[in-house]
Structure 1
């Protein structure tokens, strides 16, 4: 698939919110303030657009200011899944995190995504924990 990857490019809040709605099958009229959140909290992010400029993928990376970065919000439009868009996003995000001096890239995911993260992207499993705060 022809796509254009952009590192830290402008993000349209409505477009990214709609992409999340489609990919996670959770239709909503709400628009998340992505641009503000990214500017405030992210180490970097990567967008994928098709040749006509439509947003087809996104990934966010946050960092601790040192050796660790965390991959968040990896999303690909359902019509473009299975074409390497997600893997290309993760590779670009990992390269950018490395360029920022990070040594480790963390990700958590649901079991049904393990083939993508472990097999396609090269992550390995490790012990981790999570606590629900709300």
Structure 2
């Protein structure tokens, strides 16, 4: 992998470097990331050790990039031939540049959401009589 920035939707070749009960740590190029156990495969995974092992290489898709903390979240599920429904929606988001997902867009939308909530709460305060 070259030195170009990692972005949501990228498909990378990763090596599993460590396993915990909550997920798999991976490295790819100069980057490191985590595949949460819920992103290993469609369906329930009781024991991550039954599905993948340290040293294994796999194709993974970047599903989130936290530029502030340098954390990269990856998924194997999104690359399955028939992923569960919410992963089909996730692929739609990856392939549609008009849709923003991840930490940065959340931060951008937080201000608008906060304003909406303040207006809502202010309206409710006037409705309440003591």
TM over 0.5: no
Q: Structure 1-normalised TM-score?
A: 0.31
More strand by share: 2
Q: Structure 2-normalised TM-score?
A: 0.31
